[in-house]
Chain A
Amino acid sequence: MIESSGGRLPRWLPELSVAAALAVLPFVFARWLGSVDLFTRILIWGIFGLGFDLLFGFTGLLSFGQAAFYGTGGFVTGYLLTSGTLENVWLAMAIGIAAAMIFSVFVGVLALRRVGIYFAMITLAFGELSYFLENSPLAKFTGGENGMPGVPAPVFRLGRIEMSFAGSWPSYELVAAFFFAGFVLARFVVRSPVGAVLTAIRQNPERTAALGHDVRAYKLAVFVLAAGFAGCAGALLGIFQSYMPPGAFALDTSGQLVIQTIIGGAGTLVGSAVGAAVWLILRDVLQQVPGIGDLWKFILGLVFVVLVTLVPDGIVGTLARSHLRLGRGQRPRDIADSEAAGREALLAPFSAGVRPPAAGMPALEARHVTKSYGGIHAVAGVSLALPAGRFHAIIGPNGAGKSTFLRLLAREERADSGVIILNGKDIGAADATAAYQDGMAKSYQINQLFPQLTTRQNLRIGALGRHRGRLRLDVFRSADGFAEVEEIVAALLEELGLLACADLPVNTLAYGEKRRLELGLALASRPSVLLLDEPLAGLSPNEREGVKQLIRHLGKGRTIVLVEHDLDAVFQLAEQITVLHEGRKLAEGTASEISNDPLVREAYLGGAATP
């Protein structure tokens, strides 16, 4: 992804460059490549690709069925105009785009139930479904295999001025205007908190959900947005050609879109248009070369395979990588001088929207929670009640069910039976996203980070989750434009000792730093209940001390459940300890009660009674 913020490049440089290209390139095409029409065609693919890139390049959802929405937009617009239902071309286009988006809601709800390979297959199948529907049952509306001739061009009226967009240059102007508007919109989305969440989803969907973002809803939103772009491109195709070809719905259309986006560079927005230029120009040029004219598509296939294998960033992505140093110098923020007390207040448990438990009621309570896998009772009827502010540890030998129990508390898995109550509210039916929104966060035994985002961006994803709620489509805000979120992130960076690597991608961090960031992600929502799954795992003795200090310091005022194998640390930190053994609660008490309990000794030492 090309990031041009950071003070090195003007914020609007991409928009200005695209505007300049749209002003100059048509003359290049008209002079050397026959006609401006070729460039118009490239831009129509480019508009189609802007949406697809948001879906694939940014969110990581590879759809092979975009033709369904391209065709829907084109044919609905075309039908309204050629059947005489509507005369206003703009209105017909709007309805065509809306139809494509409505269709995509239906497809998206089904296809987004699955990820990866399945998602690609299901979208492809729906693309084919719409091709067959267009071709036979709906042929009386669409013209079937003959397509739909006579789609009119729009007319722009303003007072006395009247301007028709029919003909080569006027239709170029129309398409270029749409491309520019689409590009600006897509840039807004990319820079917005929505764009930040979409990028997070591509890198780690599970953690994004655990940080309070409704992953399914965001995916559906970007899927529908991509369909809107596709519908717009389809409608423009019909208008530009005065004819809507039946092949708009074909698998080839979806495939060509995918290929062009990869060649140009996914995640660059303009990559799709660049790829379309490569495809269409190569086709025109190769077809005129005697002897290999018939092989043009084979050569394009070969180029595509070579590019996917050797240059996965595509043309634009590779150029951007070599010319813009992506590890950019961030504008310095004045955090170092913020007072420690101020930071503490910033990071204190956030209580808006969370009803505090009634006096004497536990902050977190589990009643007879049970979970089995096949015949194995991982957690068998465990109960636990933690008053607000309690630091509670769960220990037990390997396989005792500690981590499973923590997963059940965090709602990552559903218990077979039992009740879980958070701040007086039964969260048995809630998912991890809802649990986070209710003020409970978890740090994981194995780091669950966003490896290609910077440390700051990682923490921002966590803080935004609580700040913006499960889903908000604030595409015209900037992701770093929430003052309070930025303050929290800055305070966390300072507290975690990660200021030096604040603007480095996380995959370049050392293990100890990642471990602290993992803890920081859970704290970014300022939770009132914190679940820690082996926060000390894999750390050196020195790093352990540091993390213990952090937990003690940042855990102040929170209810904490700690699962940890380092018993010395547990005895130092925890006020109350529960011992699990084979899924059951074996003992509960203070550190000294537990360390003197004969049952516990037996469980740990396998019956050896001597200490």
Chain B
Amino acid sequence: MPTLPQFLSQAFNGIALGSLLALISSGLTIILGTLGVLNFAHGAMFMLGAYTTFVVLGHWDSFAAALALGALVLLLVGLAAERGLIRFYYNRPPQDQILVTFGLGIMLVEAVHYVFGGLSQRVPLPHWGQGIVNLHFFVYPLYRVEVIGIVALLLFAFYLLLYRTRLGLVVRAGIEDPLMVELLGTNVRRMSMVVFAVGTMAAGIAGVIYAPLAAVIPDMGEPFLVECFVVIVIGGLGSFPGAVIGGIVVGEILSLTTLFDPAYAQAAIYAAMTVVLILRPRGLFGTMGRA
């Protein structure tokens, strides 16, 4: 049996990983909910965030600059993707949208592969994130604690954007009934641009934050994409609270199962997804809205 400090430390890891999944998934889920597009390129956006960090830290020794530039770059990539490609797909069947974003994801991954090669790149921890912190029961890497704090702040900002602004009101209405929002005279074109760009940015920022914790390679986004699918199936399609809670749940399942037998960590999240699908097919927080 694992000891209590081991357990607590893994539970903490679960929150750190889960909060990142929550951030990526909330971007994925608002794009899906508002635009009806399941973005298979979302994992590649996460990867682009990590590579932006790698490039920025190669020039300036400032993690804050990496965060700011990562957000900006992915905002622009999101705008370009939406205007250049995705918008032509709003009136096509969901299958086509999946296919085109899948193709876009391959192109992004392969472009990065071409420029940076397939070898993994190391990104150093920011100087304010080095060392460990003593949490009485156990010691824990400082940066992971900070990750939880930063992501919590970002999710709170996301929450304010969705629930306390006019734009957020329109976006949430769009998740309930996109046609009605258009009929009521909202500029859907602008809303679509903003939603896709902001959702993409969320994945990119998560990539920036995650970069020091992992090997930065071109297809690093793929497992995250699949885990985010599990998160939004569990949390409920198009639901922001569902993405946050689902992210933490999946992060905890992954971490705690690893404690007992790492071989079953991945299997466990799919088992959880299966249980949710049987007992509550629309997910924990899903409305019927789109199916």
Contacts and interface: CB of A to CB of B under 8 A. Distances in A.
Contacts of A129: 266-267, 270
B113 A114 contact: no
Interface in B204-255: 222, 226, 229-230, 232-233, 237
B103 A301 contact: yes
Nearest to A127: B226
Given A110-B278, A129-B266, A129-B270, A305 B104 contact: yes
B100 A116 contact: no
Given A259-B103, A305-B103, A113 B110 contact: no
Contact of A118 (B85, B237, B270): B237
Interface in B261-291: 262-264, 266-267, 270, 273-274, 277-278, 281, 291
Given A128-B226, A297-B106, A305-B107, A120 B281 contact: no
Contacts of B107: 298, 301-302, 305
B32 A128 contact: no
B264 A309 contact: no
B180 interface: no
Contact of B277 (A62, A110, A312): A110
B77 interface: no
Interface stretch (A130-138, A222-230, A397-405, A475-483): A130-138
Nearest to A250: B222
Contacts of A56: 95
A110 B114 contact: no
Given A118-B237, A136-B263, A309-B88, A297 B100 contact: no
Nearest to B37: A117
Contacts of B103: 259, 301-302, 304-305, 308
A137 B233 contact: no
Contact of A295 (B100, B110, B273): B110
Contact of A114 (B99, B274, B291): B291
Contacts of A312: 96
Interface in B83-123: 85, 88, 94-96, 98-100, 102-104, 106-107, 110-111, 113-114
Interface string A306-345: 0011001000000000000000000000000000000000
Contacts of A298: 106-107, 110-111, 113-114
A329 to B, nearest CB: 30
B193 interface: no
B94 A117 contact: yes
B67 interface: no
A132 B264 CA distance: 8
Contact of A116 (B85, B94, B222, B229): B94
B106 A125 contact: no
B20 interface: no
B222 A251 contact: yes
Determine the main DSSP class of A at the interface with B: helix
B111 A128 contact: no
Contacts of B222: 251
B202 interface: no
B66 to A, nearest CB: 26
Contacts of B96: 308, 312
Given A117-B38, A294-B113, A297-B110, A125 B102 contact: no
B223 to A, nearest CB: 8
A608 B243 CA distance: 55
Contact of A124 (B88, B113, B229, B232): B229
Contact of A294 (B98, B102, B114, B263): B114
Interface residues of B, number: 38
Nearest to B111: A298
A501 B13 CA distance: 66
Contact of B114 (A60, A125, A295): A295
Contacts of A118: 233, 237, 291
A305 B226 CA distance: 21
Nearest to B271: A129
> How extensive is the interface on chain A, given as a class?
35 or more
A125 B233 contact: yes
B110 A262 contact: no
Interface in A503-559: none
A133 B267 contact: yes
Most B CB within 10 A of own CB, among A62, A115, A124, A298: A298
Max chain B Cβ within 10 angstroms of own Cβ: one of A56, A110, A116, A118:
A118
A124 B270 contact: no
Nearest to A305: B103
Contacts of B273: 122, 125
Contacts of B229: 121, 124-125
A187 B178 CA distance: 41
B84 to A, nearest CB: 11
B189 to A, nearest CB: 19
A141 interface: no
Contact of A125 (B226, B263, B281): B226
A124 B232 CA distance: 13
Contacts of A301: 103-104, 106-107, 110
A136 B264 CA distance: 8
A255 to B, nearest CB: 7
Contact of B291 (A116, A136, A294): A116
B106 A304 contact: yes
Nearest to A261: B99
A54 B193 CA distance: 36
Contacts of B94: 116-117, 120
A305 B98 CA distance: 11
A126 interface: yes
A258 interface: yes
A119 to B, nearest CB: 10
Interface string A210-251: 000000000000000000000000000000000000000001
B35 to A, nearest CB: 12
Given A121-B38, A121-B229, A295-B114, A308 B291 contact: no
Nearest to A107: B274
Interface string A258-295: 11001000000000000000000000000000000011
Given A122-B233, A137-B263, A297-B110, A128 B99 contact: no
A136 B229 CA distance: 22
A312 B99 CA distance: 11
A251 B110 contact: no
B114 A62 contact: no
Contact of B270 (A64, A126, A259, A304): A126
A62 B95 contact: yes
A223 to B, nearest CB: 16
A117 B98 contact: yes
A373 to B, nearest CB: 12
A185 B34 CA distance: 42
A601 B267 CA distance: 66
A137 B264 CA distance: 7
A129 B264 CA distance: 10
A125 B276 CA distance: 14
A128 B264 CA distance: 13
Contacts of A308: 96, 99-100, 103
Given A64-B98, A129-B270, A305-B107, 16 more contacts: A117-B94, A120-B94, A121-B229, A121-B233, A124-B226, A125-B229, A132-B266, A132-B267, A133-B267, A137-B267, A255-B102, A295-B110, A297-B110, A300-B106, A301-B110, A305-B85
List 10 tightest A-B contacts by C-beta distance, closest first: A298-B110, A301-B106, A132-B266, A136-B263, A305-B103, A129-B270, A301-B107, A121-B229, A304-B103, A117-B38
19 contacts: A62-B98, A64-B98, A117-B38, A117-B98, A120-B95, A122-B273, A124-B226, A125-B230, A128-B226, A128-B270, A258-B99, A262-B99, A294-B113, A295-B110, A301-B104, A301-B107, A305-B104, A308-B99, A309-B88
